[in-house]
Chain A
Amino acid sequence: MSTMTENQIPENQIPLTPEQIESFGEELDAIRQRVLADRGERDANYIRKVIRAQRGLEVAGRGLLWAGVFPPAWIAGTAALSLSKILDNMEIGHNVMHGQYDWMNDPALSGKQFEWDNACPADQWRHSHNYMHHTHTNIVGKDRDIGYGVLRMSEDQRWKPYYLGNPVYATLLALFFQYGVALHDLEVERLTSGEAKLAEKRTLLGGIWRKVRRQTLKDYVIFPALSGPFFLFPLAGNATANLVRNVWSFTIIFCGHFPEGTHEFTEEETENESRGQWYYRQLLGSANLSGSRPFHILAGNLSFQIEHHLFPDLPANRYAEISTEVREICERYGIPYNVGPLGKQFGSVVRKICRLSLPDRKGRGELLARSA
């Protein structure tokens, strides 16, 4: 199966002249400069409002789950805590840790100091995500978000029988996503292949262990214990909230880079990139989700994955308003702008996960030829 966008731009060939790609980059730079100069009280008020809502939902959720023996309290509490964890990780944690609000000089919103309600230690996230993923977006072999070291998400990853389990691994990763993210910086696949040694990863492991222990104690020991004999109700509520957050963030994040039409790149293709070419790669490697304003907030505005990848350190509440301009620029230069509703984009991700569990058609042909 081949999509429109892939037909338009075969083999990642840039259809623009060097002059065009540079003027394309300059137009995007101009958007960036304009938003940078305009940051102010509006953005500060926005992120503080989201934090206020998150803290309120969390306190309400924990309180209701304390009395979780009553079914309505359990349902409302689990919903509130799920929303709290989603807001904390997506619109607050992810964006604050990008340094989107560093210009405010507020220690509570400092990208370097922020810690989130997630098993992954914030400092490891900043390395694996802000640096590795955002610098090397969709470069196979360098961007470890392509499959998180366990999945086959690109034809450029060579098929092996292990990948027959692709759909199963993806389901497990979705259910336990926070632990997948926590182990991300460990580079488990390089450990199993012998490229890296466990001894080198001691510090990382220590950090993960401390963070996971704190998170586990809080969600699965202390808060349940506060309910005494009814400890099972908050325990189940907390587990459900973590699960809901895991599946939600997995869904949003996988829809950001893996729907049909997004491109992967090789290291050779991206050597000595200019600013315009870098923008171009971020655009082709990302896909947006259409939806309502509450949907975008719960998605941490990663539903504007394209704008986020072009401008990872601009306050995320600005992505919606600049997306119309970015789209217009793309149309003018004939560059595909990949956007669709959640159902369509996620369906396409699921199909890709299943399709890539099998050898490529070309590969399959070779296999057949060899066996014949």
Chain B
Amino acid sequence: MSPPTTAAAPSRRAIPGLGLLDLIAGPHGIDGYLGQISPTMVTGECRAEVVAARHGTEDSVTLTLRPNRVWQGARAGQFVQVSVEIDGVRHTRCYSPASPEGSGRELEITIKRHPDGLVSNFLADHAQPGMVIGLSQADGDFHLPDPRPDSILLIGAGSGITPLMAILRTLSAEGHGGRIALIQYAPDPDRTIYRQELDRLAAENPNFKLSRSYTRAPGAGELDGHFSPAHLPQAEPSFATAETFACGPPALLDAVRGTWANGLERRLHVESFAAPSLLPVGEPGTGSIRFAGSNLEVENTGASILEQAEQAGVPAQSGCRMGICHTCTCRKLSGTVKNLLTEEVSAAPDEEIQLCVSAPLSDLVIDL
């Protein structure tokens, strides 16, 4: 997998004569002019127009997007980076499209409001048809494999349902004959994303079994409480042989990982939908970080290197802030860091590290 470097990673399709055109249009390139006619006309950057905005629940919005010709499509379960401009500043976040594979020129994403979420609240309040947003190509290993597995178990909480929705819709469109089970965790029936469509899918497809647990409305669903291994036999008795896809907050994924141990791990695929809690690994306040490009040195506060760079006013690119999009990837010139997601320790000089999930274990020099 080669991660996108930025939301604007060039992914230009071959158009004959583009070299000459670019020379004529130089130094700004043909996109410098096409983008003035319409922002989605550009050939080197994936952008999408919002064609519909629907408030499925009170705290979420579902957007139908029409990407420009640069878009190469997504596999069911993968994520994209979405960029929006708020008060002049471009912000990038990762979302998993819920639309099925091969669904032509349209893409659906569902955004759940986070209490302090800048981008999620902006989109929930302001997204409307005609708005243009930035898009990356789809990425990530969390997707439906080929050939399709015979038995599939899906576990999703909150907006973690979206990549699972893409998987379900894909299987439904393909007329998949194998067993599919979904355990959906939501606060209550009103805040259950894709509730009606899932109910309909369950009613129409005898091979699809839907179980719900409402964490704040005990007794309203087939199951109760947060994820527990006790939910499994009821939702999918043969869960041990099912290819399992789980998506949601870290607590859910930790519980799921704990259950799929002892050889079952290879059937488990997980995608995290929240930033990992960044506990200081080294002693906070010990050591220093030097940002070589900006010629700036700060005392290590124990926060992620990205946060420390931002606090110091060092211009750092960033995207998902949870270690999956690699936008903030940067060369570490010297020092030791620990990746808080993978627990990997990088001690060699000149290694690329992800700033948003890396914490210093020693004095550092970062090429930023």
A interface residues with partner B (beta carbon < 8 Å): 39-45, 51-52, 55-56, 59, 99, 102-108, 115-117, 122, 214-215, 217-218, 222-223
Instruction: Please report whether the interface of chain A is mostly helix, strand, loop or mixed according to DSSP.
Output: helix
Instruction: Please report whether the interface of chain B is mostly helix, strand, loop or mixed according to DSSP.
Output: mixed
Task: Answer yes or no: B343 CB below 8 A from chain A CBs.
Answer: no
A40-B88 Cα distance, complex, nearest whole Å: 5
Residues of B within 8 A of A40 (CB): 87-89
A106-B28 contact given A55-B33, A56-B36, A214-B23, CB 8 Å threshold: no
A291-B131 Cα distance, complex, nearest whole Å: 39
Residues of A within 8 A of B28 (CB): 55, 115, 117
A41-B35 Cα distance, complex, nearest whole Å: 19
Q: Shortest Cβ distance from B347 into chain A, in angstroms? A: 29
* CB <8 Å contact, A59 and B315: no
A218-B23 contact given A40-B87, A43-B88, A104-B89, CB 8 Å threshold: yes
A147-B8 Cα distance, complex, nearest whole Å: 40
* CB <8 Å contact, B27 and A223: no
* CB <8 Å contact, B315 and A104: no
Contact of B36 among A45, A55, A107, A117 (CB under 8 A): A55
* CB <8 Å contact, A104 and B23: no
B interface residues with partner A (beta carbon < 8 Å): 6, 8, 20, 23-24, 26-28, 32-33, 35-36, 45, 85, 87-92, 315, 317
A165-B87 Cα distance, complex, nearest whole Å: 53
Contact of B85 among A44, A51, A59 (CB under 8 A): A44
Q: Shortest Cβ distance from A301 into chain B, in angstroms? A: 18
* CB <8 Å contact, A223 and B33: no
Contact of A222 among B24, B27, B35, B87 (CB under 8 A): B24
Residues of B within 8 A of A117 (CB): 27-28
Residues of B within 8 A of A115 (CB): 26-28
* B87 to chain A: closest residue by CB: A40
Contact of B33 among A59, A106, A222 (CB under 8 A): A59
A364-B31 Cα distance, complex, nearest whole Å: 59
Residues of B within 8 A of A52 (CB): 36
Residues of B within 8 A of A215 (CB): 26
Residues of A within 8 A of B315 (CB): 99, 102-103
A272-B317 Cα distance, complex, nearest whole Å: 33
A117-B6 Cα distance, complex, nearest whole Å: 25
Contact of B23 among A99, A107, A116, A217 (CB under 8 A): A217
Top-6 shortest CB links A-B: A44-B88, A105-B90, A115-B27, A40-B87, A107-B8, A41-B88
A121-B36 Cα distance, complex, nearest whole Å: 24
Contact of A104 among B8, B35, B45, B88 (CB under 8 A): B88
